[in-house]
Amino acid sequence: MELLRLLLLTLRGDMAALGDRLQVLVLTTPAALDAVVAVLGEATAGVAGRPPIALPLAASTVFDVAVNKLQVAGWDGVTQFDRVVYMDVDMLVIRPLLTSILALPLAADTVYAMGEPGYAMDHEYFARPAAPYSPADWAYFAAVGAQPINTGLLMFAPSPAVLAALAAAYHAAAGTPPDERPAYCMEQPYVNAALFTGRLVNWTALQPYVVIDTKRTRREGTLLPDTVAVVHVTGQTDDASSVGSSKLARAHTLFARWHAATVSVGVGGGRAPSGVTLATLCH
């Protein structure tokens, strides 16, 4: 819940600037619903616009929770908006979305996501062994220099083709027998498969604006470029047992560094779509 609170606080400037053009939607579980509603009320208090929505989705396993993010495509209000931005709850907004990713023009039938250039297209984090790519897919990947995508942030216009691909990814994941489900990045292989086989993904346009915060970047003291608007806080450590606590600590560190700019200062200027759905998953 604390990660959700921090994310919402960093969104307050964009929420105030976009007003009724923005709908915040939190995908959650029935067990967490009351806590999510409380955090939504606290973190968005005093911000005019559409009331945030908490959408409870049934989940009995961690895998169910992970793939439930794809149900944003089936939300009955999604086609009211001309842009959807899905963000995992371990994201922080450090610069206005209105003048960064929301200012990007969207191509038809395209999902924008962060490419992962350090990984092969068939790495276990991104590919399904039971559903390998075809020779035609591999030829396409080589021709365009494809990079597998991290699914922590997805942005798209809700066209029938995109919604169908995300729904197909969800149903493929939900239909996977428990002993064949990925142990890591659980929904990611299904999303990669659906979008790349459908030629529905742009893996480069978000590169200036979204960064994945890893133990390597922290060890090397890598500075965030001035264009970066969203940080994906992974909480990576050398000790797997401490990832959760490390992620929250890192989120607090980044929030303390950037919150004055993103929470206290209003946002102005920039091009924006007529309506935006911003969804996140919290459990």
CATH of the domain at 141: 3.90.550
Its domain, for residue 58, covers: 2-89+97-204+272-281
Mean pLDDT over the full length of the chain: 85
pLDDT tens, 29-40?
A: 999 999 999 999
Tokens linked to 258? 């950037």
Question: What residue type is assigned to position 218 of the chain?
Answer: R
Per the domain annotation, does 161 fall within a domain?
Answer: yes
Per the domain annotation, does 164 fall within a domain?
Answer: yes
Spatial neighbors of 129 by CB under 8 A, at least 6 apart, are: none
Domains of the chain: total: 1
Per the domain annotation, does 118 fall within a domain?
Answer: yes
Per the domain annotation, does 55 fall within a domain?
Answer: yes
Identify the pLDDT of residue 227: 87
Per the domain annotation, does 237 fall within a domain?
Answer: no
Handedness of CA 43, 263, 79, 107 (dihedral sign): negative
Identify the pLDDT of residue 223: 59
Per the domain annotation, does 110 fall within a domain?
Answer: yes
85 close to 279: Cβ distance less than 8 angstroms = yes
The one-character DSSP state at 185 is S
pTM for this predicted structure: 0.89
pLDDT class of 4 with cuts at 50, 70, 90? very high
Per the domain annotation, does 260 fall within a domain?
Answer: no
Per the domain annotation, does 246 fall within a domain?
Answer: no
